[in-house]
Amino acid sequence: KVRRQKWRVPVASVLERGGVKIARDDVVRDEPTNNIPDTIFTKLGQQLHRRSQHPIGILKNAIHNYFDSNYENKFDKFDDLCPIVTVKQNFDDVLVPADHVSRSYNDTYYIDPQTVLRCHTSAHQAELLSKGYTQFLVTGDVYRRDSIDSTHYPVFHQMEGVRVFSPNDWESSGQDGTAYAAEDLKKCLEGLARHLFGAVEMRWIDTYFPFTDPSFELEIYFQEKWLEVLGCGVTEQEILKRSGNSNNVAWAFGLGLERLAMVLFDIPDIRLFWTTDERFTSQFSEGQLGIKFKPFSKFPPCYKDMSFWINESFTENNLCEVIRGIAGDLVEEVCLIDNFTNKKGMTSHCYRVAYRSMERSLTDEEINELQWKVREQVESKLNVVLR
């Protein structure tokens, strides 16, 4: 499955295409710029990262401990900044180009044309730098329209870290500020990985973000695949300049907390973080990093295939939103298994939907009913033609 890299390619915004927007069904019909469905709306305020018995909260505290014990100058910590932010905070302030794909209604949840659910904790960087903070950590829930599988969820948690250096810090090193910061950043994050995991297989990948240069991603080997757990880099000078840090250099990172927690606690599916099933929640306790999750009996998945002729405004994120709106966390994966264009230029997609509950077995009846609703709404909301 090919996954588009969120920050890579600026493309023309699809914002104006009617077919791409999905309004919240019932509540905001008259507000066509709002694309937040109830399944997302109900996640606001849950703040898994502030629950000390929850894997996300346990992990946040462990990372805080790492920074507290390794840095004499304490990092300031924020974990209660509101996830509803302005377009300026989420994009402009971190130099995301006006025509960048991440700004589209297909990728980001908009409350209105100026207000979004933050898609990353980087939304708070510029403001905190302007207020004079020079070493800080920001943890919060973030929101993205995305595809569906065991490591992607439309609500997840990030921790942002920023550290500012002044010329004194690097001048005696013989390196320039950028090289000094990049080296310090990698050391810091490798140390964090060792603190959390002990020995673990990891690798650095060069990448692109609008707000850092150079930019890197860290991947960890997990369940027989390389899993991307964080993005980071040396902060663009323009961001520092605007925040009154002209002479300084900084690094920044954004950790995916679910991804790290999956590796740390052996949690096989990202949906589990949202379950209230005691067979999950009771396995974790405050301050305990060494726990390995013992899966309760795994129920069989049920696969349903669905083929349709797409139109020009079709996107996989819209499809996933429709399916999640009906099946909620009963959908485990949505995967494109066939794709062809006929002589008339019509393109057909076949998607395989995997349904599975993590708590109980599903009946055939129940799944058939879900699939019928999915077919109905895929046709009516996405204007595709079922085959």
Give the footprint of ligand FA5 on this chain (CB under 6 A): 6, 120, 122, 144, 146, 152-153, 156, 158, 160, 209, 211-212, 228-233, 252-254, 256, 258-259
Contact 348, 308 (CB under 8 A): yes
d(CA 260, CA 202): 12
Spatial distance between the Cα atoms of 165 and 247, rounded to a whole number of angstroms: 9
Contact indicator for 382, 323 with CB cutoff of 8 Å: no
- Residue 35: count of CB within 10 angstroms of its CB: 24
Tell me how far, at minimum, the Cβ of 216 lies from ligand FA5, in Å: 8
Report the nearest approach of ligand FA5 to the CB of residue 345 (Å): 32
Toward ligand FA5, which CB reaches closer, 93 or 367? Answer: 93
Is 86 or 348 the residue whose CB approaches ligand FA5 more closely? Answer: 86
* Nearest approach, Cβ of residue 346 and ligand FA5 (Å): 31
Q: Does 167 sit behind a cis peptide bond, omega within 30 degrees of 0 on the bond before it?
A: no
Closest distance of CB 94 from ligand FA5, Å: 8
Burial class (CB in 10 A: 0-12, 13-18, 19+), 186: middle
CB of 251 to ligand FA5, least distance (A): 8
Smallest gap from Cβ 343 to ligand FA5, in A, equals: 37
Least Å from the CB of residue 230 to ligand FA5: 5
Tell me how crowded residue 360 is: count the other CB atoms within 10 A of its CB: 9
d(C-alpha 54, C-alpha 4), whole Å: 31
Measured CA to CA in angstroms, residue 194 lies from 65, 146, 188, 226, 232 at distances of 13, 30, 10, 17, 17
For residue 143, give the nearest of 102, 113, 114, 112 by alpha carbon.
102
Which residues are CB-contacts of 69 (< 8 A; sequence separation ≥ 6)? none
> Whose Cβ is closer to ligand FA5: residue 121's or residue 357's?
121
345 φψ region: left (φ > 0), alpha (ψ -120 to 50), beta (else): left
Q: Closest approach of Cβ 226 to ligand FA5, in Å?
A: 11
Q: Find the residue with minimal CB distance to ligand FA5.
A: 256
Closer CB to ligand FA5, 145 or 349, in the complex: 145
In whole angstroms, the minimum distance from the beta carbon of 202 to ligand FA5 comes to 13
In order of 81, 123, 352, the CA distances from 115 in angstroms are 15, 12, 34
**3-state SS, residue 296:** coil
Q: How many residues does the chain have?
A: 387
Which of 6, 186 has the CB closer to ligand FA5?
6
Nearer to ligand FA5 among residue 252 and residue 367 (C-beta): 252
Nearer Cβ to ligand FA5 (137/367): 137
Compute the least distance from the CB of residue 15 to ligand FA5, in Å. Answer: 19
**Residue 48 or residue 230: which is nearer to ligand FA5 going by CB?**
230
Which residue, 252 or 267, has its beta carbon nearer to ligand FA5?
252
The per-residue DSSP string of 123-158 comes to GGHHHHHHTT--EEEEEEEEE-----BTTB-SEEEE
Which position has the token pair 């880099």?
233
Between 210 and 308, CB nearer to ligand FA5 = 210
Whether 207 and 215 have beta carbons less than 8 Å apart is answered as yes
